[in-house]
Amino acid sequence: MAYLDSDILPIAPPRDLASRPAAWTGALVNARLVEAFATLKRLPEKDRPRGFRPALSFVIRDTFEDGVAAEALRDRKAFAWSQPRPSAAAISRMEEAIEWPSKHLAADHDARRALLIFAYCKGFGRSFAKCVAANGLKRGDVERDRLRGAMTIAGALARAAVPIR
């Protein structure tokens, strides 16, 4: 259980089987969902949904704007190179974990929402308290619902004998 003791959750589980947990727990479900959102953040931008963009440019650009645009493009490329792409195994774990809340918490909307808010905030590096406040929720209620949802998913995965990978 050493790999779940730290406050910073791992991006990939340890390779040696001795240090992996023997059974599904709420903490492990939380770690896998945070890992899923962190993997989603590291996917190349062309694979993620984009906002609406018109086909024609209605802005007449001048040389100053071209310089600013070039600088922004350089910054974006530097960020893209600093973020390593996730491995195929990480993407596979992401696809598996991202469906757990909707599959196992279909009847419990509050637990599903709390678990997804927590995983999104931790995976994308956002403030959990600010996300909770932005949704008009109380942090204590969200924590209680998140723990209940994680334990429900852990129980369902244990009953289904889903292997820990």
Where do the DSSP E strands lie in 71-138? Answer: none
Phi, psi of 59 (to 5 degrees): -105, 130
What's the whole-number mean pLDDT along residues 93-110? 92
Please report the pLDDT score of residue 44 as a whole number: 72
pTM of the predicted model over 0.85 = no
Q: Is the C-alpha dihedral spanning 101, 123, 91, 6 positive or negative? A: negative
Q: List pLDDT tens digits, range 111-135.
A: 999 999 999 999 888 888 988 998 8
Please report the pLDDT score of residue 7 as a whole number: 47
Contact 123, 36 (CB under 8 A): yes
Please state, as a whole number, how many other Cβ atoms lie within 10 Å of the Cβ of residue 43: 15
For residue 12, give the nearest of 82, 91, 100 by alpha carbon.
91
Q: Give the start-to-end residue ranges of the domains of the chain.
A: 2-44+87-159
